[in-house]
Structure 1
Amino acid sequence: MLRPSHAFTTLLALAVPATSFAASSPQSFKGEYTVSFLGLSIAKSTFSSRYENGVYSIDGSVSAAGLAKLFDDTRGTISSRGTISGQKMVPQAFRADYTSGKKASLVDIRFGNGDVTSTKVVPAPEKRDPKSWVPLGAGDLKSVLDPMAATVIYADSLDKVCGRTVKFYDGEMRANLALTYASKGSISVPGYKGDTVTCRMNFEPVAGYRKGRKALEFLKNRSRMMVTFARLGKSSVYAPIHATVGTQIGPLTISARRFEAVD
């Protein structure tokens, strides 16, 4: 199994995409997502985001739903703050607070010029075995994105959304997400109707993880991960509107129930 902070922040990053608009006037967005496993709803999420004067802010929430509530009543909130420089997200702060039953946890990451300056994880990680642990190197936390900012793609067109590698850090693990083109299509959900592009996503752990962990090995070598991006209005910003992630016990699907701009 993945450490809870890994699973929660990664799931929330996909289920609550950061949606910021590169425009001179303030722009806001809101969305609702459903996370399902083998066709059964297991989580729901909402988000709101705002872009103004080169600064972005995103706030989201997620909670267990359906049968999942009987086994693991997890719920939490997430926030990401930062600036946009050219076509690049530059995070300043990321925080995820969540509870599973009566156990409370948090991940708090601070940045300076896009580099990680501090990390706080509660409960603190257990002592690592140096023989099996891949430690973070001096350069691993430079020019990285938090799990939320990592979901945003700036591109001139649908054709240029894929074909890139995203570097992200979740508070413990540094990993790369390589996006390669898969297909084009269209989608219609409340608040949005238009063209989409689907990228295949390959996961590569870089540091901050235990060697031989079965869940990570599966994600790296066997999982089929597909992410569909939609354009936000007339901007050059693309955000996930649908995603599927293969796991050891079956596919996980994240679908937008609402995806819209608000005044």
Structure 2
Amino acid sequence: MLRSSHAVVAMLVAALPTSALAAAPAATAQSFKGEYTVSFLGLSVAKAKFSSHYQGDSYFIDGTVSSAGIATLFDDTSGTISSKGKILGQQMQPQAFRADYKSGKKASVVDIRFANGAVTATQVIPEPKKRNPKTWIPLGGNDLTSVLDPMAATVIHADSLDKVCGRKVKFYDGEMRADLTLTYASKGSISVKGYKGDTVTCKMSFEPVAGYRKGRKALNYLKNKSQMMVTFAPLGQTGVYAPIHATVGTQIGTLTVSAGRFEAVE
């Protein structure tokens, strides 16, 4: 599921569950849990559960993602995702990201390693097929510096809800580099297990940079026509804001990601 729905799942199923990610530096360990449902046209198609642990300036996240409902009839996919790194000031700095998943009988792995904010190694199994140089936009020398993995790409450090939107994030999923730009849309409130309170919604735009095929209809739609909205909520008093709800328009309908649980745990 992660690679087969490359842009949508990388941005939403992998990135959004970082609501369980991290808090401000503390001497004692802090833990968070997030549970999400992905639905399409009102039908559940995937579920994700994540646990995260944070101590000092280090974080570690692990989780599971699986097909659900009617989607299991067409694409029975399940997998595990993990990410670790540090928070330096208000900057996420990943060290490692790994996704192991199985779709039907096909097993796949995406493993990304980082150092000082830059990608140092990427392993994708099975290895991608040879690309057509006439249509493929290759990664350039500076494309993999100051980038975030799918787990850290949408976690925001801000002084308040008013300052969550209005930023650009460099995103890398093991093949494609893209920019995600957040602009303010509205304020609201939400109530789920573990959180009841104020939220802010940002409109998210998607701009592929490299590591993709020109003319790909799904990416062109995401870039030029898709309506993508992400709603953020605070993790306690930590100064960290994370997605609690999102929608993304695709060529065949709207995908919705909703948190059923968004809370700190002992």
Mapped partners of 2:39, 2:56: distance in 1: 36
Q: Aligned ranges for residues 127-206 of structure 1 at < 5 Å? A: 127-206=130-209
Mapped partners of 2:47, 2:131: distance in 1: 33
Mapped partners of 1:197, 1:10: distance in 2: 18
Mapped partners of 1:74, 1:95: distance in 2: 16
Residue 232 of structure 1 aligns to which amino acid in structure 2? L
Mapped partners of 1:120, 1:177: distance in 2: 23
Residue 101 of structure 2 aligns to which amino acid in structure 1? Y
Residue 4 of structure 1 aligns to which amino acid in structure 2? S
Given candidates 245, 248, 253, the residue that maps to 1:250 is: 253
Mapped partners of 2:223, 2:216: distance in 1: 11
Shift of 1:23: 3.1
Given candidates 57, 79, 84, the residue that maps to 2:82 is: 79
Mapped partners of 1:137, 1:160: distance in 2: 31
Corresponding residue for residue 216 of structure 1: 219
Q: Larger deviation: 93-102 or 15-24?
A: 15-24
Contact 1:31 1:46 in 2 (8 A): yes
Mapped partners of 1:107, 1:245: distance in 2: 23
Residues 177-222 of structure 1 deviation map (CA, whole Å, 9 limit, x = unaligned):
0000000000000110010000000000000000000000000000
Contact 2:65 2:80 in 1 (8 A): yes
Residue 104 of structure 2 aligns to which amino acid in structure 1? G
Shift of 1:72: 0.7
Corresponding residue for residue 10 of structure 2: 9
Contact 1:204 1:220 in 2 (8 A): yes
Corresponding residue for residue 124 of structure 2: 121
Shift of 1:16: 1.8
Mapped partners of 1:56, 1:225: distance in 2: 28
Shift of 1:15: 4.3
Total equivalences in the alignment: 263
Mapped partners of 1:165, 1:181: distance in 2: 12
Residue 29 of structure 1 aligns to which amino acid in structure 2? F
Q: Any idea what SS the aligned residue of 2:131 has?
A: coil
Contact 1:13 1:151 in 2 (8 A): no
Identity of aligned residues (%): 73
Corresponding residue for residue 25 of structure 2: 23
Q: Give me the TM-score of the superposition, normalised by structure 2.
A: 0.96
Contact 1:155 1:238 in 2 (8 A): yes
Shift of 1:3: 4.8
Corresponding residue for residue 228 of structure 1: 231
- For structure 2, which runs of at least 5 residues remain unmatched after alignment? none
The two structures, once aligned, show a CA RMSD in angstroms of 1.4
Q: Give me the TM-score of the superposition, normalised by structure 1.
A: 0.97
Q: Any idea what SS the aligned residue of 1:17 has?
A: helix
